[in-house]
């Protein structure tokens, strides 16, 4: 792969290619792999690939499978070595990396079974050292890795080389970081089930590959990518050691690139076109850097921070400060549905019509509540007609314990009180399944439906806290989710039609959606694309002409004030209502309280995120609120009309 860097990329110590979407990025990487495979075929040689698992490479593997099926790409001359495997998981375990690779790639292409290598997680502790040494020997015997594909963990790990891993570390057994285990908790239906140890290639092993491609998508990776790509090399961010490699490139999407200097502070890397959003970003970032309210910034504050061109463009600090201060102030509103009978020329939402039809889309139960429960509560109190639509039931996120408890409760009721024999039989069937199933066996359709009911009940209880009319709390149960598993979802026109049908029936004035910055293979990422496609398909409908589409922030990362178009403040009492609402999603609370850290729970993250946004506004010299929920206008969707 060709490596070249531009002026804008001067802070990047690993050459980085940024793509509008992950789809475009994986097409480029897959095409490069395909080129290498064919080249070697012509030479009668093998190609040795180092492979990763996790969400990141899923799309890459799908593209390789497509190239195999549609363009005749053969993998007969490909040899693969996987980076890592969890200890204690047999190859057939659904969460083992061996199983992942079989399902995501190997079964679907013509790679000979003897060519694939995944570390064996079942190796006895006493034999691990020797086993790891042999794994490296096999890599060397195969001729060394030609191209290593990597993802990056939020701890900065590559493979399972967690912070503290030495630059010359080799294949070995490691202990997984707490954050890594928490990130894997969803797949394992609870953090307690995530293995504590893994076998991983070392940083030194990875650096021996002739070429390295690191892939990353979504805003949750933005901060760690900045540290790895622009920071100093340090073992606290093992991915930063990739800076030493002369043929390593990052392939990332725009949301993952958000914290790189060329996007965060573009004026530092070259001339910029001073459009209003860039100006706002510049003022907010100088104020943040100097910890000064906007209205107290002086000319020198701008010039000393590389922003003389902005002053030349806009005049003095005085007028610039007032302009941006007003803009920021106008994002704040306690009337997310518009303030009736008020001048709305400087408000994010028009006053008319005074009673709006609103659709709030939640990918899985809890997502929308985390992002905008306070705003939902306000919309309801202001008498807007709110339809709260859960796109999926969330049944995949229900731990077995919760299902067991619910079955036993219902059983008690049906046996002792209701005498409902039919119900009892159904419950007995579920109870039997629970008894016989190993923790990671696939749930039957009935059990999934039952788990879905648990989440729906929690969702309804949480909606009641917000005062929502339960007849307007809908569950679309999109087919992609009901038929899929994490990382193996396949969407169809049916999903889009279902969302579109709802929008056309309600003809909303406002739509709230989330997930634009989420990992594209996550439920939130998929739901975002489905809603966008549905709205695109409805683009010409008259109702779309009057519809505002709002993106609500996830609790993944608080948005900076310059990224926010509508900031809805929450009083201490409103924040308490929000937390009460979140607390009703019982199955999503940590199953292992003794392992819980202060900020580990999703409701704690949401509270922290909303409080941080309020602090940001306060520090800029705007009113000091308890908490703020943030929203961005999705003009790109509205503009398609």
Min CB(244)–ligand F6R separation in Å: 18
**Site stretch for ligand F6R (CB under 6 A), options 10-18, 156-164, 423-431, 596-604:** 156-164
Which pair of structure tokens corresponds to residue 223? 């901060």
Residue 83 contacts ligand F6R per CB under 6 A: yes
Residue 54 contacts ligand F6R per CB under 6 A: yes
User: Could you tell me if 173 and 197 are in contact, meaning their C-beta atoms sit under 8 angstroms apart?
Assistant: yes
CA-to-CA distance for 263 and 589, rounded, in angstroms?
36
The DSSP letter of residue 192 is G
Residue whose token pair is 């363009």: 71
Residue 181 contacts ligand F6R per CB under 6 A: no
Please select the residue that binds ligand F6R; options are 119, 121, 151, 520, rule is CB under 6 A. Answer: 151
Which CB, 338 or 520, lies closer to ligand F6R?
A: 520
The three-point CA angle 85-89-95 to 5° equals 75
Please select the residue that binds ligand F6R; options are 14, 17, 26, 56, rule is CB under 6 A. Answer: 56
Min CB(224)–ligand F6R separation in Å: 10
CA-to-CA distance for 303 and 251, rounded, in angstroms?
34
Q: Which residues pair with 388 in a beta bridge?
A: 360, 473
**Site stretch for ligand F6R (CB under 6 A), options 9-17, 36-44, 155-163, 562-570:** 155-163
**Site stretch for ligand F6R (CB under 6 A), options 4-12, 153-161, 369-377, 618-626:** 153-161
Min CB(158)–ligand F6R separation in Å: 6
Which pair of structure tokens corresponds to residue 201? 């290639």
**Site stretch for ligand F6R (CB under 6 A), options 46-54, 345-353, 451-459, 573-581:** 46-54
Which CB, 446 or 485, lies closer to ligand F6R?
A: 485
The answer for 315, left when phi > 0, alpha when psi is -120 to 50, beta otherwise, is left
Residue whose token pair is 């650096």: 207
Residue 53 contacts ligand F6R per CB under 6 A: yes
Min CB(252)–ligand F6R separation in Å: 12
Burial of 204 (0-12, 13-18, 19+ CB in 10 A): middle
* Sheet of strand 566-570: strand arrangement: 473-475, 385-390, 357-362, 510-513, 548-552, 627-633, 566-570
User: Could you tell me if 397 and 364 are in contact, meaning their C-beta atoms sit under 8 angstroms apart?
Assistant: yes
Q: x/- binding map, residues 365-404, to ligand F6R, per CB under 6 A?
A: ----------------------------------------
Burial of 598 (0-12, 13-18, 19+ CB in 10 A): exposed
Min CB(488)–ligand F6R separation in Å: 13
Which CB, 182 or 611, lies closer to ligand F6R?
A: 182
Length reported for the chain: 641
Residue 84 contacts ligand F6R per CB under 6 A: yes
Within 332-351, the residues that bind ligand F6R by CB under 6 A are none
Residue 159 contacts ligand F6R per CB under 6 A: yes
Q: In 3-state terms, what secondary structure has residue 10?
A: coil
- What is the gyration radius of the CA atoms in the chain, in angstroms? 26
Q: How many Cα atoms sit within 13 Å of 610 on the Cβ side?
A: 28
CA-to-CA distance for 278 and 288, rounded, in angstroms?
15
CA-to-CA distance for 547 and 263, rounded, in angstroms?
30
CA-to-CA distance for 276 and 632, rounded, in angstroms?
15
Which pair of structure tokens corresponds to residue 263? 């996007």
Please select the residue that binds ligand F6R; options are 16, 55, 104, 392, rule is CB under 6 A. Answer: 55
Min CB(152)–ligand F6R separation in Å: 6
**Site stretch for ligand F6R (CB under 6 A), options 61-69, 147-155, 451-459, 582-590:** 147-155
Which CB, 65 or 269, lies closer to ligand F6R?
A: 65
CA-to-CA distance for 152 and 161, rounded, in angstroms?
10
Min CB(55)–ligand F6R separation in Å: 4
**Site stretch for ligand F6R (CB under 6 A), options 14-22, 27-35, 148-156, 256-264:** 148-156
Which CB, 207 or 332, lies closer to ligand F6R?
A: 207
435 upstream amide cis, omega within 30 of 0: no
Dmax over Cα atoms in the chain, in whole Å?
A: 81
Which has the closest alpha carbon to 527: 632, 394, 639?
394
Residue 153 contacts ligand F6R per CB under 6 A: yes
Please select the residue that binds ligand F6R; options are 62, 98, 99, 157, rule is CB under 6 A. Answer: 157
Which CB, 53 or 610, lies closer to ligand F6R?
A: 53
Please select the residue that binds ligand F6R; options are 33, 49, 52, 502, rule is CB under 6 A. Answer: 52
Q: Tell me the torsion sign for CA atoms 114, 119, 122, 126.
A: positive
**Site stretch for ligand F6R (CB under 6 A), options 49-57, 331-339, 459-467, 510-518:** 49-57
CA-to-CA distance for 192 and 185, rounded, in angstroms?
8
Which has the closest alpha carbon to 329: 633, 623, 630, 572?
623
Which CB, 213 or 406, lies closer to ligand F6R?
A: 213
Which pair of structure tokens corresponds to residue 208? 């021996």
Residue 149 contacts ligand F6R per CB under 6 A: no
E strand spans, 452-605? 473-475, 510-513, 548-552, 566-570
**Site stretch for ligand F6R (CB under 6 A), options 151-159, 304-312, 477-485, 556-564:** 151-159
CA-to-CA distance for 26 and 34, rounded, in angstroms?
12
Which pair of structure tokens corresponds to residue 415? 């046996």
Min CB(95)–ligand F6R separation in Å: 12
# binding residues, ligand F6R (CB under 6 A): 14
**Site stretch for ligand F6R (CB under 6 A), options 48-56, 204-212, 275-283, 302-310:** 48-56
Taking CB atoms, the residue at the shortest distance from ligand F6R is 151
Min CB(245)–ligand F6R separation in Å: 16
Min CB(306)–ligand F6R separation in Å: 34
Residue 209 contacts ligand F6R per CB under 6 A: no
First CA to last CA distance, the chain: 39
Residue 558 contacts ligand F6R per CB under 6 A: no
Min CB(219)–ligand F6R separation in Å: 12
Please select the residue that binds ligand F6R; options are 132, 158, 307, 627, rule is CB under 6 A. Answer: 158
Min CB(153)–ligand F6R separation in Å: 4
Catalytic positions are 162
Residue 96 contacts ligand F6R per CB under 6 A: no
Which CB, 59 or 280, lies closer to ligand F6R?
A: 59
Which CB, 153 or 362, lies closer to ligand F6R?
A: 153
DSSP per residue over 51-106, as a string? E--SSTTHHHHHHHHHHHHHH----TTEEEEESEEETT--TTSTTSHHHHHHHHTG
Residues that bind ligand F6R (CB under 6 A): 52-56, 83-84, 151-153, 157-160
């Amino acid at each position: 792969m060709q490596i070249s860097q531009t002026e804008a990329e001067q802070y990047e110590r690993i050459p980085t290619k940024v793509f509008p979407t992950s789809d475009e990025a994986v097409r480029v990487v897959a095409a490069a792999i395909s080129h290498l495979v064919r080249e070697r075929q012509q030479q009668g040689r093998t190609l040795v690939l180092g492979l990763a698992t996790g969400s990141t490479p899923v799309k890459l593997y799908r593209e390789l499978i497509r190239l195999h099926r549609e363009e005749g790409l053969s993998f007969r001359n490909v040899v693969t070595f996987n980076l890592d495997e969890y200890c204690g998981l047999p190859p057939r375990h659904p969460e083992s990396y061996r199983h992942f690779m079989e399902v995501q790639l190997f079964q679907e292409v013509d790679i000979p079974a003897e060519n694939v290598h995944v570390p064996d997680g079942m190796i006895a502790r006493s034999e691990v050292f020797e086993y790891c040494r042999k794994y490296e020997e096999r890599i060397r015997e195969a001729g060394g890795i030609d191209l290593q594909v990597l993802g990056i963990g939020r701890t900065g790990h590559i493979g399972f080389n967690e912070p503290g891993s030495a630059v010359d570390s080799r294949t070995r057994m490691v202990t997984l970081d707490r954050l890594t285990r928490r990130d894997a908790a969803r797949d394992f239906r609870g953090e307690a089930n995530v293995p504590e140890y893994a076998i991983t290639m070392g940083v030194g092993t990875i650096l021996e590959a002739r070429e390295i491609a690191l892939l990353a998508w979504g805003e949750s990776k933005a901060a760690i990518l900045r540290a790895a790509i622009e920071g100093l090399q340090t073992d606290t961010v093992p991915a930063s050691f990739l800076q030493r490699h002369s043929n390593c490139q990052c392939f990332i999407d725009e949301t993952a690139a958000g914290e790189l200097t060329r996007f965060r502070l573009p004026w530092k890397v070259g001339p910029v076109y001073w459009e209003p959003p860039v100006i706002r970003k510049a003022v907010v970032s100088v104020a943040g850097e100097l910890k000064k309210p906007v209205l107290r910034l002086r000319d020198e504050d701008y010039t000393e921070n590389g922003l003389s061109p902005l002053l030349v463009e806009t005049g003095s600090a005085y007028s610039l400060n007032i302009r941006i201060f007003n803009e920021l102030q106008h994002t704040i509103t306690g009337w997310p549905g518009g303030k009736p009978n008020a001048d709305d020329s400087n408000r994010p939402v028009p006053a008319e019509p005074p009673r709006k039809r609103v659709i709030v889309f939640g990918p899985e139960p809890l997502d929308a509540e985390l992002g905008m429960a306070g705003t939902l509560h306000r919309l309801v109190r202001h008498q807007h007609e709110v339809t709260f639509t859960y796109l999926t039931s969330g049944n995949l996120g229900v731990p077995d314990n919760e299902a067991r408890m619910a079955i036993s409760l219902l059983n008690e009721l049906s046996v002792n009180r209701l005498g409902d024999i039919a119900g009892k039989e159904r419950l007995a069937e579920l109870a039997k399944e629970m008894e016989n199933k190993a923790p990671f066996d696939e749930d039957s359709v009935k059990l999934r439906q039952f788990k879905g009911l648990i989440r729906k009940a929690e969702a309804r209880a949480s909606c009641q806290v917000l005062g929502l009319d339960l007849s307007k709390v809908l569950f679309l149960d999109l087919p992609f989710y009901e038929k899929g598993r994490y990382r193996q979802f396949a969407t169809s026109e049916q999903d889009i039609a279902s969302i579109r049908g709802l929008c056309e029936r309600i003809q909303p004035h406002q739509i709230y959606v989330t997930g634009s910055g989420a990992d594209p293979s996550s439920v939130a990422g998929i739901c975002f694309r489905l809603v966008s496609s549905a709205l695109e398909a409805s683009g010409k409908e008259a109702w779309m002409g009057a519809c505002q589409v709002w993106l609500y922030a996830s609790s993944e990362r608080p948005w900076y004030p310059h990224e926010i178009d509508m900031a809805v403040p929450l009083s201490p009492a409103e924040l308490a209502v929000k937390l009460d609402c979140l607390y009703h999603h019982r199955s999503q609370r940590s199953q292992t309280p003794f392992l819980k850290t202060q900020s580990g729970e999703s409701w704690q993250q949401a509270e922290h995120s909303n409080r941080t946004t309020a602090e940001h506004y306060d520090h800029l010299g705007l009113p000091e609120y308890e908490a703020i929920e943030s929203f961005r206008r999705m003009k790109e969707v509205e503009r398609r009309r």
